[in-house]
Chain A
Amino acid sequence: MRIVIVGNGKVGNTLAEQLSSEGHDITVIDKNQKNIDNTINTLDVMGICGNGASYHTLLEAEVPKADLLIACTSQDEINLLCCLVGKKLGAGNTIARVRNPEYSDQLVFMREELGLSMSINPERAAASELFRMLKFPSALKIENFSTKRVEIAELRLKEGSALDGVYLRDLHKSFKGRALICAVQRGCEVRIPDGNFMLKSGDKISIIASARDMLDFFSSLVGIKPEARNVMLIGGGRITFYLARMLSENGAKVKIIDIDPARCAELGAALPKVMVICGDGTDQELLWEENIKDADAVVALTGLDEENIILALYAQSVIDGKVITKVNRDSLSSIADKVGLESIISPRSLTASIIIRYVRAMQNSLGSNIETLHRLVNGQVEALEFRVNDTFPRLGVPLKDLELRPNILIGCISRSGRTIIPGGHDCIESGDRVIVITTNLRLDDLSDILARSYTI
């Protein structure tokens, strides 16, 4: 696809890198010539220096022929204007990064009247991701599919876990519900396990199950940490605002610590149910005074990555609950991972990955029928949701008789509102939604999972 990216900041750059490596034709527009020079020297993309909201620059970038225009400059107005002009010029789809809730609240209008395909608010996206993590603190990460009934959770098996030394074929003995372990990362190696695979502590596993079974699974096997009810947020930025609002609407007790009195006053006024403390979040005395020990979860959300990492390390040493760290710079997030911080969130890469997911789905919608796509274990495994139509050659054949290509697992079948974690006797019917887990990236169609090709 031809994709034009306006704004070559961190998000823009991540997008350009990812999308060009997936084989798309990328043109990047930015106002800063140096920035552009740097990008065209390191990536196989075309760069244009200019104002992305101007008609001439967009024409130069051949927006009329583009399939997708992504506006991710730091200014909402420019992004919106850019998408508006781009759409009128004939761009296929447009995505704008819109931060200001005043604009994003009129999303429906914009979608219908201005032709905007998608708007993304990085802070709100980060907040909802955090909210999901806090709702289910035992998992490192949790994703759901289009029906919202099926979830995939990632977790690390701790020392002495009940699953240590368990063969997957024996999993049903210790767990009555239906859940499937669909990917395991051990060390650097990632694999899709079969029944003879033995779990060990230290493995990072991905589990697919219906939402209810997932809860059961965690409570019976991993030792569930209850949903965080008492959350401490350090740093009072925009993510904090969105997250605190979501948490308090959900009934959790939220405490925000920020150093700026004016910001604290604003937050206090906007979030009456939330306790706002004005003070230095890195001050241990203050944290003790505010009972950090009683918190179920601590989220480090200050503007400085380094401060967040130190804070999180301290919090992890003090409390038993969930600690989440916001890290913006990629280089730092790998360091954070090394020093033992498990839950890390980066609004920028989150934004980029949401957009990439959209692009993949869009690309796939041209030639195939992928509904949702998630990347698991650092992008080495993909979970794809397909809608089955009549062209699938092996309809009604029990799974045990299907000859699949290696490293492919059928994780879940949703049929008219029911969720089936399939066994060997289940079969794929037309109209189902099937979730396929694979390490062969780039499956385009459900029939790609079959070892042989069939003609119908």
Chain B
Amino acid sequence: MNRAMVLYFTGRIIKVEAALLMLPFVVALGYKEKTAVFFLIAAALALSLGWALSRKKPADQAIYAKEGFAVVALAWVAFSAIGALPFYLSGCIPSYLDSLFETVSGFTTTGSSILASVEELPYGMLFWRSFTHWVGGMGVLVFAMAVMPLSDRRSMHMMRAEVPGPIVGKLVPKMRDTAKILYSIYFGLSLIMFVLLILGGMPIFDSAIHVFGTAGTGGFSCKNSSVGFYDSAYIDWVITIFMALFGVNFNLYYFLLLRNFKAAFKNEELLWYVGIMTSASIMIALDIMPEFGSFFTSLRYSAFQVSTIMTTTGFATTDFNLWPAFSKNILILLMFIGASAGSTGGGLKVSRLLIIAKATRNEIRKMLHPRMVSSVSMDEKPLSPETVNSAYMYLAMYVFIAAVSVAIITLDGFDFETSFTAMAACFNNIGPGLGAVGPTSNFGAMSHLSKIVLIADMLLGRLEIFPLLFGISFPVLKKQRRSANN
């Protein structure tokens, strides 16, 4: 492996974080908070580390798939480690592990918190905590590619490792232009939402926080009772719709911009995504009608909760922990389905499940017609057997990691519902689970070991398992070193 190049890239990306840290610094200064200085310290540390790593461009600049994976893994770990510093140094979150949990939860757009009361945090910290959602949602490397001349002709390896979904393609021939288009769409949608929230009477700071949480499908709020604090049907619906919008593959927005409506609306994944979301909302609305009286009120709450769970955002307007078992069950199922590929959401992704379902149907038909020749197709295009295999493989790894995580978390002695949904909420980047980690409570009661496992789960879930697994797998490093010595 070309380690010099991996470190060089990581260094350059860390420098981007130094720049990003200036934003909460300015916000904190604006509110005249003393904690502002800690952003400056973290930024200085990031800048010097980044500078040290990227001082000289290595002579051998070839990067291949494994370097791409390693850069992504290392960049995310470094981003989180540095991003946690302001919380820790300022003493807002006394333990570094907790700070790290909060930051990883931010960058991976999970939204799980260890804080019992977020309202006590200074504004600058709140801003940074939510801003990590916005950056992490679209991907830190994609962001770096959009703003810096980082892209190399082989940068596809990095983009593929970071952008979620079974198939990753470019929108336009040049990587950097693709990254720019994605970020422009992202920024544009965020801006529209910001304006709509302000029109709904939300304070400017709160609007920004909720836009970050929604756009990245993260879910950090600046209120203890999350979006439920505002108790406004208008705000609920705006956030519901925008969460759903950010859970759609961004490529489709590009098609819309190009006025290629057919490609956008005939997209199979989109149809299933919308179908699942509406049917789940209606089913839950009917189930919880006794609690709210009218169908439309219960639809408002059910749609918000379905949207927040399925897009893996994690806001809450009500404590769905108290809902009937049927509704809770549907929500748990939605946790695993997740959003669309190429969106900011997490989970297994609708398209991946679609591929697996179609491939399974084909295999079953093959049992009846042993000589049948079949292929799986999406949007009327056949998929390569590799894509189908990797979807199966992803599912297998996913189940395996989930099982191991739950086993470790249950050591804490929580009930099964709590342990299982804590894992599901972190691994799928959602935020709140059920039971003791439900929407009104937090992860603070977990043991150190569980927190470490959940941090790993969040990163694995956001980067879709493989980059992190390959990036940190020691055999890869060792084997390469040995062959280099020979």
User: A residues touching B (Cβ–Cβ < 8 Å)?
Assistant: 2, 20-21, 25-27, 33, 40-46
Sorted nearest first, the 8 A-B pairs with minimum C-beta distance are: A44-B153, A25-B173, A46-B173, A43-B153, A46-B170, A44-B175, A26-B173, A45-B173
Decide if B157 is an interface residue (CB 8 Å cutoff). Answer: yes
User: Cβ of B156 < 8 Å from any Cβ of A?
Assistant: yes
A44-B174 Cα distance, complex, nearest whole Å: 6
Contact A44 B173 (CB under 8 A): yes
A20 to B156, CA, bound (A): 14
Q: Does B151 contact A (CB under 8 A)?
A: yes
Contacts of B170 on A, CB cut-off 8 Å? Answer: 40, 46
List 23 contacting pairs A-B, 8 Å CB cutoff, sorted by A: A2-B173, A20-B153, A20-B173, A25-B172, A25-B177, A26-B173, A27-B173, A33-B384, A41-B157, A42-B153, A42-B154, A44-B152, A44-B153, A44-B154, A44-B156, A44-B173, A44-B174, A44-B175, A45-B173, A46-B169, A46-B170, A46-B172, A46-B173
Task: List chain A residues, Cβ under 8 A from B384.
Answer: 33
Contact count A vs B, C-beta below 8 Å? 34
Q: Is B198 an interface residue (CB 8 A)?
A: no
CA A416 to CA B73, docked complex, whole Å: 65
Given the complex of chains A and B, what is the CA–CA distance between A53 and B157 in angstroms?
Answer: 30
Give the complex CA separation of A33 and B382 in angstroms: 11
Could you tell me how many residues of chain B have their Cβ less than 8 Å away from some Cβ of chain A? 16
Closest to A48 in B: B169
**Which residues does B use to contact A, with CB under 8 Å?**
65, 151-157, 169-170, 172-175, 177, 384
Distance (Å) between the CB of A441 and the closest chain B CB?
18
Give Cα A21–Cα B170 distance, bound, in whole angstroms: 18
Contact A41 B173 (CB under 8 A): no
B174 touches A25 (CB 8 A): yes
Chain A hits for B153, CB < 8 A: 20-21, 42-44
Looking at chain A's contact residues, the main secondary structure is mixed
Which residues from B are CB-within-8-Å of A26? 173
Minimal Cβ-Cβ distance residue in B for A24: B173
Q: How far is the CA of A46 from the CA of B176 in the complex (A)?
A: 12
In the bound complex, residues from chain B placing their C-beta under 8 Å from that of A2 are 173
Q: How far apart are the CA atoms of A2 and B170 in the complex, in Å?
A: 15
For the complex formed, measure the closest distance between the CB of A376 and the CB atoms of chain B, giving whole angstroms: 26
A243 to chain B, nearest CB (A): 37
Contacts of A42 in B (CB 8 A): 153-154
Q: How far is the CA of A26 from the CA of B173 in the complex (A)?
A: 6
Q: Which residue of A lies closest to B155 (CB)?
A: A44
List of A residues within 8 angstroms of B156 by Cβ: 40-41, 44
CA distance A163 to B60 in the complex (A): 40
Chain A residues with CB under 8 Å of B169's CB are 46
Distance of A40 Cα from B175 Cα, bound (Å): 10
Residue of A nearest to B152 (CB): A44
A27 to B174, CA, bound (A): 9
User: Is the Cβ of B65 less than 8 Å from the Cβ of A41?
Assistant: yes
Q: Nearest chain B CB to A318's CB is how many angstroms away?
A: 42
Given the complex of chains A and B, what is the CA–CA distance between A2 and B155 in angstroms?
A: 20
Rounded to whole Å, the gap between the CB of B213 and the closest CB of chain A is: 33
For A33, the chain B residues whose CB sits under 8 A away are 384
Task: For A41, give the chain B residue with the smallest CB separation.
Answer: B156
Chain A residues, Cβ within 8 Å of B173? 2, 20, 25-27, 44-46
A21 to B384, CA, bound (A): 30
- Nearest CB in chain B: distance from A54 CB, A: 13
Q: Give the CA-CA distance A2 to B172 in the complex, in Å.
A: 10
A27 to B152 Cα, complex, angstroms: 17
B157: chain A residues within 8 A (beta carbon): 41
Q: How far is the CA of A33 from the CA of B177 in the complex (A)?
A: 24
User: Would you give the shortest CB distance from A95 to chain B, in whole angstroms?
Assistant: 18
Separation of A46 and B174 alpha carbons in the complex (Å) = 7
Interface contacts beyond A21-B153, A43-B153: sample of 19 additional A-B pairs, CB < 8 Å, sorted by A: A2-B173, A25-B172, A25-B173, A25-B174, A25-B177, A27-B173, A40-B156, A40-B170, A41-B65, A41-B154, A41-B156, A44-B151, A44-B155, A44-B173, A44-B174, A45-B173, A46-B169, A46-B170, A46-B172
Considering only CB atoms, which chain B residue lies closest to A4 in the complex? Answer: B173
Nearest CB to that of A40 among chain B residues?
A: B156
Residues of B within 8 A of A44 (CB): 151-156, 173-175
List the A residue with the shortest CB-CB distance to B160: A41
Q: Complex: how many Å from CA A40 to CA B160?
A: 11
Q: A41: which B residues are within 8 A, CB to CB?
A: 65, 154, 156-157
Give the complex CA separation of A138 and B151 in angstroms. 45
Q: How far is the CA of A168 from the CA of B478 in the complex (A)?
A: 57
Q: Which of A2, A44, A46 has most B Cβ within 10 Å?
A: A44
The interface residues of chain A lying within 8 Å CB-to-CB of B155 are 44
**Residues of the A chain whose Cβ atoms lie less than 8 Å from the Cβ of B177:** 25
Task: Provide the bound-state CA to CA distance between A327 and B384, in Å.
Answer: 35
Please measure, in the bound complex, the distance between the C-alpha atom of A45 and the C-alpha atom of B151, giving whole angstroms: 12
B239 CB, nearest partner CB in chain A, Å = 35
B360 CB to closest chain A CB (Å) equals 23
- Cβ-closest chain B residue relative to A33: B384
Chain B: minimal CB distance from A49 (Å): 9
Q: Which residues of A contact B154 (CB under 8 A)?
A: 41-42, 44
CA–CA, A33 to B387, complex, Å?
Answer: 12
User: B99: shortest Cβ distance to chain A, in Å?
Assistant: 38
Q: In the assembly, what is the distance between CA of A218 and CA of B169, in Å?
A: 56
Q: B173 to nearest A CB, angstroms?
A: 4
CB distance from A17 to the nearest CB of B (A): 8
A25 vs B175: C-alpha distance in the bound complex, in angstroms? Answer: 10
Most chain A beta carbons < 10 A, residue from B173, B177, B384: B173
B174 to chain A, nearest CB (A): 6
Identity of the chain A residue whose Cβ is nearest the Cβ of B263 in the assembled complex: A60
A40: which B residues are within 8 A, CB to CB?
Answer: 156, 170
Residue in B closest to A44 when the chains form the complex, CB atoms: B153
A2's nearest neighbour on chain B, judged by CB, is B173
Alpha-carbon distance A40/B157, docked complex (angstroms): 9
Q: In the complex the two chains form, what is the Cα distance from A45 to B155 in whole Å?
A: 11
Determine the residue in chain A with the shortest Cβ distance to B64. A41
Residue of A nearest to B171 (CB): A46
**Chain B residue nearest in CB terms to A27:** B173
CA distance A45 to B154 in the complex (A): 10
Q: How far is the CA of A27 from the CA of B170 in the complex (A)?
A: 11
A409 to chain B, nearest CB (A): 32
Contacts of B152 in A (CB 8 A): 44
* B174 / chain A contacts, CB cutoff of 8 Å: 25, 44
Which residue of B has the minimal Cβ distance to A23?
A: B174
Which of B153, B154, B172 has most A Cβ within 10 Å?
B153
Residues of the B chain whose Cβ atoms lie less than 8 Å from the Cβ of A27: 173
Q: How far is the CA of A21 from the CA of B173 in the complex (A)?
A: 12
C-alpha spacing A419/B153, complex, angstroms: 44
Minimum C-beta distance from B167 to chain A (A): 11
A43 and B173 CA atoms in complex are apart in Å by 10
| Cα distance A311–B174 in the bound complex, in angstroms | 44
A363 to chain B, nearest CB (A): 16
How far, in Å, is B316 (CB) from chain A's closest CB? 41
Tell me the complex Cα distance, A125–B424, Å.
64
C-alpha gap A40/B155 in the complex (Å): 10
Select the residue from A26, A33, A45 with max chain B CB neighbours within 10 A: A45
CB neighbours (8 Å) of A20 from chain B are 153, 173
Contacts of B65 in A (CB 8 A): 41
Q: Which residues of B contact A25 (CB under 8 A)?
A: 172-174, 177
Q: Which residue of the partner chain A has the closest CB to B258?
A: A62
Q: Among the interface residues A21, A27, A41, which one has the most CB atoms of the partner chain B within 10 A?
A: A41
Q: In the complex, A26 Cα to B177 Cα: how many Å?
A: 12
Using CB atoms, name the residue of chain A closest to B154: A42
The chain A residue with its CB closest to the CB of B157 is: A41
Query: Inside 8 A of A46's CB, which chain B residues have their CB?
Result: 169-170, 172-173
